[in-house]
Amino acid sequence: MMHSERSSRSRRRVVATGLVLGVAVSGAVAVKVIRARRAQAQVTTVGPAGVTRPVLLVNPASGDGKADRYGLVDRARESGIEVHVLAPEEDLTAVAEAAIRDGADALGMAGGDGSLGVVAAVAISHNRPFFCIPVGTRNHFAMDVGLDRDDPVAALAAVEGDEILLDYGTIDDRVFVNNVSFGVYAEAVQDSDYRDDKGRVLADKFRDALSTDEQQETTLQYELPEFETARDVQLLLVSNNPYSITGPPDFGRRQYLDSGTLGVLAFEPPKESERGGPGLTQTSDQVMVTTPSSSTSTIPVAIDGESAEYDSPIEIRMHAKGLRLLVPPGVRPGFLSTGLEKVAEIADLAHLGGDEDR
């Protein structure tokens, strides 16, 4: 009898402890939910879109013909948007500039991530708002903006939505909206299998790089304003706002697109481990990328997933809130993981979390 009572008390203690821990964890997660939602709410909103002659450039080849499958061109024209369908050899910058000369008061791009920065650069240079329609393969920028990548037609509502201010980056004088990568990242993007099997290609490149003899000559260095000297690096990713690692299929997302900082993810050689080691994550508003004097001055780079080459030294800079972006009503950057979305629903029902500032 006494044994039974002790067992019962023990079970009650376990249950009580579990409830306390559950409430504590729920409260902590609820705070994360609140912070994520607050970040979305604090995005600088200029006001209603207010455009009268938006022009959309469409790459019909992006996403294996995604624009055609969704009837995007017809739907855009029905929405009062002028559409220019790009021919295979047309110069994207020239077409965007011509649209501005013809009176466009907003420029949009329906294509992959690599084309967004090109059209955004023209919009920025003429102080026009930009909007994007996700018809590419990955559509990382659209994802982080808050657009539904599986419904490009819904993104057309941006011309009747709101104008917000977001950051963008430049590598020398070229605009990027996602990231620029060097070393292993750039090599991976150049691999013909990258788009179809991103995870495997990246894993193979990482493994090869990290197993390399540490005495091998370093061909890449980077420097932040707070560094006393340049640091050797095997691979480097500089992003328009820092990434959070989320795993496949996208591997990373950005909770903010207006923090005014570049994300810097550097994998330094093993011999540099005492200075931070592989996977060193930092933030800055400026990054310099160079090669040692004994190396070639040409550096391979991937800009928003597109391969390029630049001469050393390379300057990467942050331009805070310099991009005027049109978004559909209610759409804002920021994200919650799938798990946090479920917790958010429960938190809403249970009114968990309260006021974060209290």
**Which residues have a Cβ under 8 Å from the Cβ of 17 and sit 6 or more positions away?**
none
pLDDT of residue 247: 58
Cis peptide bond N-terminal to 313, omega within 30: yes
User: Given this model, what pLDDT does residue 107 score?
Assistant: 99
Any idea how long the chain is? 358
Whether 155 contacts 147, CB under 8 Å: yes
Q: Does the structure show a pLDDT above 90 at 101?
A: yes
Q: Is the pLDDT of residue 6 over 80?
A: no
Among 31-35, 86-90, 113-117, 251-255, the minimum mean pLDDT is found in: 31-35
If you count DSSP H runs as helices and E runs as strands, how many of each does the chain have, helices first? 9, 19
User: What percentage of the chain carries pLDDT values higher than 90?
Assistant: 54
pLDDT digits (tens, 9 = 90+) for 205-240: 777 766 655 445 557 899 999 887 788 888 899 999
Query: Stretch 41-65: mean pLDDT, rounded?
Result: 93
Is pLDDT above 90 for 145?
yes
Residue 85 carries which side chain, given as an amino acid letter?
V
Residue 115 pLDDT greater than 90, yes or no: yes
Weakest-pLDDT range from 19-23, 264-268, 279-283: 19-23
- The alpha carbon of 53 is separated from its chain's Cα centroid by a whole number of angstroms, namely 28
- With contact defined as beta carbons under 8 Å apart, do 178 and 239 qualify? yes
Quick check: 116 pLDDT over 70?
Answer: yes
| 3-state percent helix, strand, coil for the chain, nearest multiple of 5 | 35, 30, 35
Phi, psi of 317 (to 5 degrees): -130, 155
Q: Return the pLDDT at 217.
A: 58
Q: What is the pLDDT of residue 80?
A: 97
Q: Between these two residues, 134 and 211, which has the higher pLDDT value? A: 134
Determine the pLDDT at residue 14.
Answer: 47
CA distance linking residue 44 with residue 57, whole number of Å: 26
pLDDT at residue 88, as a whole number: 92
Mean pLDDT on 145-165: 97
* Residue range 290-317, pLDDT digits in tens: 988 756 688 999 999 898 999 999 999 9
pTM of the model: 0.79
**Residue 155, SS3 per DSSP:** helix
> Which tens digit of pLDDT belongs to each residue from 13-51?
544 444 444 444 444 444 444 444 444 447 899 999 999
pLDDT of residue 233: 85
Whether the CB-CB separation of 349 and 326 falls below 8 Å is answered with no
What's the rounded Cα separation, in Å, for the pair 19 and 254? 33
pLDDT in tens, 178-209: 999 998 778 777 777 776 777 787 778 777 76
Residue that is written with structure tokens 């909206």 in the block? 177
Per-residue confidence (pLDDT) for residue 183, from 0 to 100: 86
- Mean pLDDT is lowest, of 78-82, 124-128, 136-140, for 136-140
Q: Residue 189: its pLDDT value, please?
A: 76
Better-scored residue on pLDDT, 268 or 164: 164
So what's the pLDDT on residue 196? 74
Average pLDDT over every residue of 315-338: 89
C-alpha dihedral (304, 305, 309, 311), degrees to nearest 10: 30
The H or E element containing residue 187 is helix 184-190
- 63-66 contacts, C-beta under 8 A, 24 or more apart: 63/112, 63/135, 63/136, 63/137, 64/137, 66/135, 66/136, 66/152
